[in-house]
Structure 1
Amino acid sequence: MDLAYTAEQNMLEESIAKFLSSEYDLDSRKALANSDLGYSEEHWQTFASLGWLALPIEEAYGGIGGDLVDTMILCESLGKGLVVEPILPSLVLFGGAITLAGSESTKQSLLPALADGSIKGSIAYLEAGAPSDFNHVETIAEQDGDHYVLTGHKSVVFNAASADHLIVSARTSGGVKDLQGISLFLIPAEAKGLSRKDYPTVDGLRASEVHLDRVRIPNANLLGDIDEGAETLQQVINRGILAISAEAVGAMEVLYTSTIEYTKQREQFDHPLADFQVVKHRLTEMFIEYNLAKSLCMKATMLLNQASEDAQRHIHALKFLIGKSSRFVGQNAVQLHGGMGMTEDLAIAHYFKRLMVIDAMFGNANIHLEAFTG
């Protein structure tokens, strides 16, 4: 398996690094996270002009036609800057679902607009009764002539406040936890009967609780086949896991390199901290955990890219390792920085918070360990 980047992928990595160095210091990030919108629309349009939003979209729909490895590089690079713009919910999850299950007319309508930055979307699939099980669906969709009527509640819908469209999972048959009987629906964000409660997350991003009170949508807004949405959801979640794992790898790299620099500068007993053997050992362990996570992220991405039968098992292993390695690297970065490691004025704390949220997303490390060994 060739793990080397192409020249184009190296250029992508370099262009993102250049953007982050000039536009995305900690103070800028904190200001964006605390703003009304929660991110920069100007940055979003810059992402579009640089081709980043078009990266995973097929050329036939105004995109560049990149693969999952390209998206991994994008997310890893943006993870180094703790970027708050809605790449995951809009491009990876919403765009991925449209690509996988959308009709030709839906793709023609939405994918070019995603690529040029003129619309955003998100996906609403989690419910309060089961915060990590996508198959737990109490939201109901009932057919009424040439429309479906949706009623229910969705939790932790990332960036719903800035989305133009939502993809919502609803039950059209079967029991609450059945895989069969889940259907996906495309709903305008301003649809009558749809309401939101928006809130900031602990890592500085935005999410919403979404309530559906007899929301009527045309039959044409069914995404994919009736009762068969679970397979699409699983594929979209797999893409989401790869994206946040790559983001975590980028964040871990920053924590590791920042901690090395700090221990070289901070002195105790007239010696830099990095001179002490116990610190050297700890930095070595951080390096190992980071590289294990990076290697498995690349392998799992390439396997899913190739539609390998081993991809799902590797994705479970990856999500477990990301949770384990993120916690180890983050906790040791904080410890080696001393008390200041947990202050809001130092980037370390912000990276650590993001890593802990990533561990919880799409099922935590323990859930994926159980899936891997089961």
Structure 2
Amino acid sequence: MDFDLTSEQQLLQDSVRRFIDRAYTFEARAALLKGGRNGSAGNWSLFAENGWLMAALPEAYDGLGGTLMETAIIAQQMGRGLVIEPYLGCAVLAAQTVVAGGTAAQKEALLPMLAAGSLRIALAYSEPASRGLPEPASLRAERDGDHYVLHGTKSLVLGAVGAHAFIVSALVPGTQGITLLLVEAGTPGLHRRALPLHDGSWVEELTLDGVRVAAQAVLGEPGRGLAALRAGLASGTVALCAELIGVMEKTIELTAEYLKTRQQFGVPIGSFQALQHRIADMAAEMEVARSMLHAALASLTNDDAATQQQVLSAAKMLIGRAAKFVCGQGIQLHGGIGMTEEYTVGHYYKRAVVADLLLGSSDSHEAACAAALQAGLRAPAG
């Protein structure tokens, strides 16, 4: 797989980078955090106008027909600015789940509005027992004539604040597998609780107490939602990993600049060999993580489903841990100032810590990798 950017991809990267550098400064982001829970409506409209929300959506539904590479390009640049608008939750996780699992009529109804930014859908799949993975699911959707009645709870719903609807994963008694249902935000029986995360972003916990939705609300077919859910989560995992590459890039840049300007004993501390070694270690970790992201992108293009899941878990585990290491070292090299709320580098560490827990923690994905390896070893040869 060729990872050199095409001219169109380079233009896409440059456009997002310019926006981050000019309009998404640390001070601008801090003002957004004080002003609300889901960023700026103006920024979201700008994302749509620039084509960033439609980059990886099919051309038949008002998208640009791009691939996961375009998603990764956008997410990486947004990671550099610690963007709080729900690009990951709404434009990637939910949108790609609709692409993978929706019927033609559902895609025609939903995707153009998602591309235009006029509709926000969040993916509500995570439960406390699932630890960010798509299974197990315990929320029930019981058939009642032409409707389904939903009972259960979903946690850590990304992009939920301000969302107009939710894609909810559920078990339907009498069927095998997971069913995905579209639930409008104002449906009676749906209770939403906004929760702040350590990095300043917000998620919601959903409690569904007798929520009734029409049978037409099923995304795709009953009992066959797991493949679509995995596809959406695969895109989301790649986007989150790419975001963390951007987080590491910016942390290293901030740290290198600080080492050049901070003086001790009359010289910049960047002249001390021990500190040069530490920032070299940070750069090495980032490049290993970048290579792992490329491996995940290649696997999603070339490998079977089982191999894809194993490579994605390995990428999420390795990149999440690398980001925490790099950002933690950034704080260390800044000294006490790196711990203050008013200084930038600590916020990148907070994002790395939160991102490591989203979409399955590094520990959960390490366990998934181990289970897949053990299953492969136990399988009969030939």
TM-score by length of 2: 0.93
Alignment of 1:285 onto 2:285: no
What is the Cα deviation at residue 53 of structure 1?
0.8
1:238 corresponding residue in structure 2: 234
Report how many aligned residue pairs link the two structures: 370
Give the 4+ runs in structure 1 shifted more than 6 A. Answer: none
Q: Which moved further from structure 2: 300-309 or 193-202?
A: 300-309
Q: Which aligned pairs between 1:233-312 and structure 2 lie closer than 5 A?
A: 233-308=229-304, 310-312=307-309
State whether residues 38 and 161 of structure 2, in contact with CA within 8 Å, keep that contact through their aligned partners in structure 1: no
SS at match of 1:153: strand
1:342 corresponding residue in structure 2: 339
The residue identity in structure 2 corresponding to 1:59 is E
Q: Return the alpha-carbon distance in structure 2 between the equivalents of residues 215 and 368 of structure 1.
A: 32
Name the % identity.
38
Q: Return the alpha-carbon distance in structure 2 between the equivalents of residues 99 and 280 of structure 1.
A: 46
Q: Return the alpha-carbon distance in structure 2 between the equivalents of residues 365 and 102 of structure 1.
A: 30
TM-score by length of 1: 0.95
SS at match of 1:149: strand
What is the Cα deviation at residue 37 of structure 1?
4.0
State whether residues 72 and 301 of structure 1, in contact with CA within 8 Å, keep that contact through their aligned partners in structure 2: no
1:352 to 349, 353, 358: 349
Alignment of 1:366 onto 2:363: yes
Q: Return the alpha-carbon distance in structure 2 between the equivalents of residues 208 and 83 of structure 1.
A: 18
1:196-223 deviation per Cα after TM superposition (whole angstroms, max 9, x unaligned): 0112211111111111111111111111
Q: Return the alpha-carbon distance in structure 1 between the equivalents of residues 51 and 259 of structure 2.
A: 38
Q: Return the alpha-carbon distance in structure 2 between the equivalents of residues 367 and 104 of structure 1.
A: 34
Q: Return the alpha-carbon distance in structure 1 between the equivalents of residues 245 and 23 of structure 2.
A: 21
Q: Which moved further from structure 2: 192-201 or 301-310?
A: 301-310
The residue identity in structure 2 corresponding to 1:355 is A
State whether residues 331 and 345 of structure 2, in contact with CA within 8 Å, keep that contact through their aligned partners in structure 1: yes
1:147 corresponding residue in structure 2: 147
The residue identity in structure 1 corresponding to 2:98 is I
Q: Return the alpha-carbon distance in structure 1 between the equivalents of residues 143 and 174 of structure 2.
A: 15
Alignment of 1:220 onto 2:179: no
SS at match of 1:126: coil
The residue identity in structure 1 corresponding to 2:279 is L
Q: Which aligned pairs between 1:80-229 and structure 2 lie closer than 5 A?
A: 80-173=80-173, 180-229=176-225
Q: Return the alpha-carbon distance in structure 1 between the equivalents of residues 340 and 33 of structure 2.
A: 17
The residue identity in structure 1 corresponding to 2:104 is E
Structure 2, gaps ≥5 residues long: 372-382
State whether residues 147 and 218 of structure 1, in contact with CA within 8 Å, keep that contact through their aligned partners in structure 2: yes
Structure 1, gaps ≥5 residues long: none
Q: Return the alpha-carbon distance in structure 2 between the equivalents of residues 370 and 307 of structure 1.
A: 21
Q: Return the alpha-carbon distance in structure 1 between the equivalents of residues 366 and 205 of structure 2.
A: 28
Q: Which moved further from structure 2: 5-14 or 223-232?
A: 223-232
The residue identity in structure 1 corresponding to 2:140 is I
